[in-house]
Amino acid sequence: MATEPPRRAPPPPAGRPESGQRRAGDGEEAEPLRGSALEPSSPSVAVGGGRQGLLNGCVPLSHQVAGHMYGKDKGGILQHPDGTVLKQLQPPPRGPREQEFYNKVYAADCCDSVLLELRKYLPKYFGSWSPPTAPNDLYLKLEDVTRKFNKPCIMDVKIGQKSYDPYASAEKIQQQVSKYPLMEEIGFLVLGMRVYHIHSDSYETQNQHYGRSLTKETIKDGMSRFFHNGYCLRKDAVAASIQKIEKILQWFESQEQLNFYASSLLFVYEGSCQLTATRLSDGTLAEKRVVPKGLLQDGDLLEYNNNIHVINSTENGKIEASVGKSLPKIYALHKKAYSKRHHSQISLKAENLEQDNVWKSSTCISQEHLNGNVIPQLEKVFCHMPKEMKENADVEVRMIDFAHVFPSNTKDKGYIYGLKNLITVLQNILDN
């Protein structure tokens, strides 16, 4: 693979300064985020006792789930003021090899259909970058895949049957195999995840030690944890992830140019509900919960509970449902009332905003009548998904980490094996 000079492209427009982040490094040696924890949903970055800029205004990314950590390891990922991410080049031969890979795929004169197709599944590449004060420190300037998300849920999954390349020493092979002996059989390894819980407005984090603890019997439940928001399983995000992985699989099955080792898939989906407040005619504030079209089909809510109404599709192609109280508040009220066996009632309001006419239906759901099933009903409202749904959730699945990519004249059987097994596990989560 011939080395080409890095291409400098205009960076994307500046936007939200803090966002989640992709994984740094090649994920082989770093030991980040030990154990699981709940953390605030809007973390700050502490540097030297406070939030400070580094290297011309760059700061460490705040949502790292795996890989080398800036300030803890030799390399790391920073966020540039323009919203891109800066991945510090690793020592030779890994760093130059990854840079060569990006240069080849994103070359301005690239006419290879295989590589042009591959661009769809990678972070955008904006060439290399060095701080004026340290011109010898080289960084890869990449798209921040999490930038558009408000509460990004992030997972890093290493793909393939081998986490070492064909040129690895016997010692390196033994080291990698001992970290996760099931890699060859399962075909992938969860390196870390960060999941937003809407009820506590906090993130749950898991690191690679969590992933290494998963076996053939527990891998499905271990993966499903990433898609659970504290209330329900986000089957819409699972389904959308499967469809994106299938597209990557199609690319791998069509090419015999490259083999990938110790490379990962980065999963990102929106963890927060999109809420807007609307004042009803009686002065009551109702929260309008915007649900991606396809998450709920017309009439699905009525099928489960005649007291909750689906508002017809709006111009933006989404289905809107309104309730008089937010889901966390309803949950808290329900728990309190149910524990005391009160015959209290929760009032649900729905409105139709079409043609500027406000229609609302105020109905009381009796705790006694539903035998305490208010929360399951509401979970169906916000989390139900028909099996035949199409890709609608706001989800990103991108390939990352290319320090061990080599030319080949055969299909990448190890990576293909891992993708197929990953799809099977996610499909089992969806079906169950």
pLDDT confidence of residue 39: 54
Query: Is the model's pLDDT at 20 over the cut of 50?
Result: no
Segment 207-266, tens digit of pLDDT: 999 999 999 999 999 999 999 999 999 999 999 999 999 999 999 999 999 999 999 999
56-75 average pLDDT score? 65
Closest CA to 231 of 340, 39, 381, 394: 381
pLDDT confidence of residue 61: 73
Residue pair 251/118 in contact (Cβ under 8 Å)? The answer is yes
Give domain status of residue 75, yes or no.
Answer: yes
Give domain status of residue 152, yes or no.
Answer: yes
Give domain status of residue 209, yes or no.
Answer: yes
What is the spatial distance between Cα 96 and Cα 82, in angstroms, rounded to a whole number?
Answer: 24
Q: Which residue has the tokens 């209330």?
A: 231
Give domain status of residue 338, yes or no.
Answer: no
Domain count, the chain: 1
36-49 average pLDDT score? 43
130-148 average pLDDT score? 93
pLDDT confidence of residue 372: 52
Give domain status of residue 339, yes or no.
Answer: no
Mean pLDDT of the chain: 73
What is the spatial distance between Cα 23 and Cα 46, in angstroms, rounded to a whole number?
Answer: 19
Local confidence band at 288 (pLDDT 50, 70, 90 cut-offs): very low
184-194 average pLDDT score? 97
Give domain status of residue 423, yes or no.
Answer: yes
Give domain status of residue 179, yes or no.
Answer: yes
Residue pair 309/350 in contact (Cβ under 8 Å)? The answer is yes
pLDDT confidence of residue 55: 72
DSSP letter assigned to residue 58: B
Q: Which amino acid is at 226?
A: F
Segment 319-364, tens digit of pLDDT: 334 444 445 554 555 455 444 444 444 444 334 443 343 333 333 3
Residue pair 135/124 in contact (Cβ under 8 Å)? The answer is no
Local confidence band at 40 (pLDDT 50, 70, 90 cut-offs): low
Q: Which residue has the higher pLDDT, 180 or 295?
A: 180
Give domain status of residue 380, yes or no.
Answer: no
Q: Which residue has the tokens 């030297």?
A: 48
Segment 419-432, tens digit of pLDDT: 999 999 999 999 98
CATH of the domain at 416: 3.30.470.160
* Residues spanned by the domain of 138: 57-274+393-431
Closest CA to 334 of 375, 291, 377, 276: 375
Segment 392-429, tens digit of pLDDT: 579 999 999 999 999 999 999 999 999 999 999 999 99
